[in-house]
Homo-oligomer: A and B are copies of this chain.
Amino acid sequence: VSGSDIVLIAVPVSATESTLKAIRHLVNPGVLFMDVGSTKCDVIEAARRALADRAASFVPCHPIAGKESGGVQHAEATLYEGRQVILTPQPFTNPQLVQKATDVWSALGATVLKMRPHNHDAAFAAVSHLPHLLAFAYFQAIAEQPAARDYLSLAGPGFRDFTRIAAGEPGVWRDILLANKHEVLAQSKRFRTMLDQLEALIEAGDAAALEAALRPISEGRSAWSLPVIPPGRPTAK
């Protein structure tokens, strides 16, 4: 990292502090530090502790793209094209470095959004961290059954897509689920309440009410599509 203009750290979020500590003395003042962590409140605290009077150089980032498989061998040049990258700068973050971070991600084809760290963590507990937790729990609930081998040999494309994120890196997801545990558990509670409601309709054999419950869900999901925003229009949130 010595002599770099930009230092991008991509480690499980709990390793942010030790990683920054290990490299900060190698880096000239004015260099841009960024991360790619899926939680931001904990990462910001870690950067403050590690960088102290140079915390202004750290721009917290979360690119909304990635894959379940890590490592340089899975690198993909167009991974961020048309995707969103969230920045959660603090009042003390150097605004020139925020601009530089925005320029870098934009150059990769991404659209840059700014959010408060807490809002970021609440939103991603809902749309990313909870689904990972559910996919992990679901896959394991199937895999540990005596008939698992037969079941898994019969699974189709729905199963494939529903469980894809259960292949996520254990170290990465251990950290995310712990760093954002209050938001994740709160979202899980909402999910369980909805599951209870649907199961009660199934248990009761209430076909009309079950269909009435499923219809807006099916329509809502059919109407949703992955936000793919033409790059070059930074927006604030």
CA–CA, A141 and B194, complex, Å: 6
Tell whether, in the assembled complex, residue B164 and residue A164 are in contact, meaning their CB atoms are under 8 Å apart. Answer: no
Task: Identify 4 new A-B residue pairs, CB closer than 8 A, beyond the known A133-B199, A167-B218.
Answer: A134-B195, A135-B162, A150-B237, A169-B218
Q: Is A166 engaged at the interface, CB distance under 8 Å to the other chain? A: yes
Min CB–CB distance A145 → chain B (angstroms): 7
Beta-carbon contacts of A123-161 to B below 8 Å, as 1s and 0s?
110111011111111111111110100111111111111
Pick 15 A–B contacts, CB within 8 A, sort by A.
Answer: A123-B151, A127-B142, A127-B159, A128-B158, A130-B138, A131-B158, A131-B162, A135-B162, A138-B194, A144-B194, A155-B224, A167-B221, A173-B218, A174-B214, A178-B210
Judged by DSSP, the binding face of A is: helix
CA–CA, A214 and B134, complex, Å: 12
Min CB–CB distance A111 → chain B (angstroms): 11
CA–CA, A83 and B153, complex, Å: 11
Tell me the A169-201 residues at the B interface (CB within 8 Å): 169-171, 173-175, 177-178, 181, 184-185, 187-188, 190-195, 197-199
Complex interface: chain B residues within 8 A of A222 (CB): 68-69, 167
| Minimum CB distance partner of A128 in chain B | B158
- Interface size of A in residues (CB-CB distance below 8 Å): 94
Q: Is A25 engaged at the interface, CB distance under 8 Å to the other chain? A: no
With A159-B131, A237-B150 already in contact, the answer to whether A143 and B65 are too (CB < 8 A) is: no
Q: Is A207 engaged at the interface, CB distance under 8 Å to the other chain? A: yes
Min CB–CB distance A183 → chain B (angstroms): 11
Tell whether, in the assembled complex, residue B141 and residue A211 are in contact, meaning their CB atoms are under 8 Å apart. Answer: no
Tell whether, in the assembled complex, residue A83 and residue B138 are in contact, meaning their CB atoms are under 8 Å apart. Answer: no
